[in-house]
Amino acid sequence: MKEIKLFAPATIANVSCGFDVLGLCLDTVGDEMIIRKTTKKGVRISKIIGQDLPIETEKNVAGVAVLALLKQLNSDAGFEIEIYKNIKPGSGIGSSAASSAGAVFGVNKLLGEPFTLQELIPFAMEGEKLASGTAHADNVAPALLGGFTLVRSYNPLDVIKMNSPKELFATVIHPQIEIKTADARSVLKKKVTLKETVIQLGNLGGLIAGLYTNDYDLIGRSLHDEIVEPSRSILIPEFDAIIKAAKDAGALGGGISGSGPSIFALSKGKEIADKVALTMAKAYKNLQIDFEIHVSKINTKGIKIL
């Protein structure tokens, strides 16, 4: 194999109560990438369509991620990468993760798969480190593994792919404002109380239990962020009103997607998820804020070869 074309999906990180540890993979929105072997060693980003992003290898998340992979292999192989960006940077649905994860996935395939999908996560995290200053895995893990993922530990890295209930759908609305991940992190509290921690742990455990038992009501009750959302939500216009409208339309619950400004809601069944989309859209139309909206089942496969 000399060339590969792939779909690198968008993701929702944190999933309310799982800051930096929970993520899920979407199915209907993502980037496309073409990666090919070259005779010239090293990594070259030859084309980026859709967004204005650095084409220099060391300044591009896909380039940095692949360089980390090749360094681990002590390889002098050469690759050329084309990126067709459908996920806007700063959207909160894993733009940098899609590029990072997609790049290492494709290169790994072209090299004969020396690494498992799990083993690719640290390389993709290097791209996240370039983008946000923090090597977090809650977007790249679900992009690579599919479904819901839990980062049990970062040191050593221990990522678990979890059950994804078949009728669970995500609705994501992306208001056309930009919130950089670094800025969203800057508003977070440096310390949390024991009471807040207990509430958060209860919700995290409840959400995981709900996923494994297909208990949609429990999933809904657990979609509450006690620690991060109160600080970040002030950056997103009418956040509380959007969440209330989504629940009134039948959503199980929702929250901030990643570091925002996208807002997600989870629903049982596509019919309700579509209804939630209409409700969310109406709210932002009334505010005269441009937006994009996506309805997606949970993508249990992750990155797909096209």
Residues carrying an active site annotation: 128, 181
DSSP readout, 242-280? Answer: HHHHHHHTT--EEEE-TTSS-EEEEEESHHHHHHHHHHH
Question: What SS3 state is found at 140?
Answer: helix
Number of H helices, E strands in the chain: 10, 11
Q: Give the residue from 121, 293, 94 showing the smallest Cα distance to 181.
A: 94
Cα dist. 64→80, 127, 230 in Å? Answer: 13, 6, 33
Rounded Cα–Cα distance for residues 19 and 23 (Å)? 9
Q: Could you give the CA distance from residue 27 to residue 11 in angstroms, rounded to a whole number?
A: 9
Q: Which long-range contacts (CB under 8 A, 24 or more apart) does 51-54 make?
A: 51/85, 51/88, 51/89, 51/95, 53/83, 53/85, 53/89
Q: Are 163 and 211 in contact (CB under 8 A)?
A: yes
Cβ distance 171 to 246 under 8 Å?
yes
